[in-house]
Amino acid sequence: MELTMKHLKTILMITAVLGLTACQSKVQYSDAREVETVNANFGSTDLQAITDKMVDSMLTFPPVLVLTANNQRPIIFVDTIKNKSSEHIDTESVTDSISNRLLRSGKFRFIDMTRVDSVRKQLDYQNNAGLVDPSTAIKFGQQIGAQYMLYGNLSSIVKQGDRTKDVYYKMTMRLMDLRTGLIEWSDEKEIRKTKSKSFLGL
């Protein structure tokens, strides 16, 4: 049976539609704690591993246990983690995750230094704009100062051969007593990731 031009066009249209349908992307929810291995770059699994290690280490370190005994809840400010790696890494997200875990432990109180300018503007408005009842305005100089500073660095070493890429990450954090300058706690987390290419180069 000979195919007419009309039949041929119909077959081509059906094939094209089926091809487009097969190529459509699919979105689905996954476990946020599931190991992510899309590539060798810094990812969610690395962030979670660093957060778990640093928080658990700090909360169980004997001198820190003394600092937080009897519900003392020391006041901390967290300096944004410095990115010394070869990648563009959202270290603010790492900082936030560690801060949240420590705050939710109930052992510490935090001062958010990223909002100092906003707080200053609000206090200036309350005290100087002439629009706020003076009896309800919060006066300058009443905030409580931090006792400790938590800070850290994230660095990396990348080595690449013909078929293998090796990425080494190291996260270092310290807790400093602002009055004495003494380091009360320090720890590091190391992560190594290796990506191998197949013989097809994929």
Quick check: is 157 in a domain?
yes
Quick check: is 162 in a domain?
yes
Whether residue 202 has pLDDT greater than 90: no
**161-186: b (≥16 Cβ within 10 Å) or e:** eeeeeebebbbbbbbbeeeeeeebbe
Quick check: is 16 in a domain?
no
DSSP letters, 36-47, are --SSSS--HHHH
Q: What is the pLDDT of residues 159-188, one digit of tens each?
A: 888 888 888 999 999 999 999 999 999 999
How many CA atoms, within 13 angstroms, populate the side-chain half-sphere of residue 50?
28
Quick check: is 20 in a domain?
no
Q: What percent of the chain is modeled with pLDDT above 70?
A: 80
Quick check: is 47 in a domain?
yes
CATH number at residue 49: 3.30.2300.10
Average pLDDT over the chain, rounded to an integer? 85
Beta carbons of 110 and 97 less than 8 angstroms apart: no
Whether residue 109 has pLDDT greater than 90: yes
Quick check: is 19 in a domain?
no
Quick check: is 45 in a domain?
yes
Beta carbons of 132 and 156 less than 8 angstroms apart: no
Residue 82's domain comprises: 41-134+144-196
Whether residue 23 has pLDDT greater than 60: no
Whether residue 20 has pLDDT greater than 90: no
Mean pLDDT computed over 90-113: 91
Beta carbons of 157 and 168 less than 8 angstroms apart: yes
Q: Report phi then psi at 112, rounded to 5.
A: -95, 100
Query: pLDDT class for 200, splitting at 50, 70, 90?
Result: low
Q: What is the pLDDT of residues 45-86, one digit of tens each?
A: 888 999 999 999 999 999 999 999 988 899 999 998 999 988
The one-letter code for the residue type at 68 is T
**90-129: b (≥16 Cβ within 10 Å) or e:** ebeebbbbbbebbeeeebbebbeeeeeeeeeeebeebeee
Which pLDDT belongs to residue 113?
Answer: 84
- Number of structural domains found in the chain: 1
Nearest to 50 by CA among 8, 23, 85, 74: 85
Quick check: is 119 in a domain?
yes
